[in-house]
Amino acid sequence: MIVVVVGTATEVGKTWVAARVIKNLRAAGRTVHARKPAQSFDPSDPAPNDAEVLGAATGEAPETVCPRRRWYEVPMAPPMAARALARPSIALADLVAACTAPRGDVAAPGRTTADPILVVETAGGVRSPLADDGDAVDLCRALAPDLVVLVADAGLGTINAVLLSAGALAGQRVVVILNRFDPTSQLHRANREWLATRAGLEIVTDPEALAHCLLTPA
């Protein structure tokens, strides 16, 4: 199973959601791998970068999650960061090739290799450049994932951002997670209801519910 995690924008919590879901899936006995085809970050930020967070969740080395040559130490979209750092250009085909699970996948003790799950996290929003010749929508088309998880904020602007992003992902099975959802917020509840009833989207509001979606056949 391949799951691609995308966002309506940057800083909506894609990595946090992906890591929490991975931990829930592993707790349920599933074998999970994470891939971040390319990442850019501020090297002065003391927080772990995305590959480190995802690797901690799966038990993989950060360099396995994201090849070291695709770590860009400047906070820009990866192909822009590569150019700013005078590094080789990025081709979408190379990113697609990096989104693979290990051959001969073997589960850890107590886990099952039945249908291992590969979680691929993109960078920025769905139309943010990932390569010189493609974005997250193009990556999804190339990978043909079983599910696309669209991470969105729950507050003002959510409906517009979600509908634009989901529209760009037409043809994919999309589950929207409203991150940082506050059930006591009238706005958050109204956004969830509108997206579910008016737009007909599959909506969850916490990583545990999202993990349940992945463990339950569509």
Determine whether 36 is an active site residue. yes
Note the pTM of the prediction, 2 decimals: 0.93
The CA distance from 20 to 77, in Å, is 24
pLDDT digits (tens, 9 = 90+) for 3-55: 999 999 999 999 999 999 999 999 999 999 999 999 999 999 999 999 999 99
**Structural contact between residues 140 and 7, judged by C-beta atoms closer than 8 angstroms:** no
Query: What are the extents of the domains in the chain?
Result: 2-215
pLDDT digits (tens, 9 = 90+) for 124-170: 999 999 999 999 999 999 999 999 999 999 999 999 999 999 999 99
Q: Point out the catalytic residue in the list 14, 20, 33, 36.
A: 36
**Structural contact between residues 19 and 121, judged by C-beta atoms closer than 8 angstroms:** no
pLDDT digits (tens, 9 = 90+) for 177-193: 999 999 999 999 999 99
CATH fold for the domain made of 2-215: Rossmann fold (3.40.50)
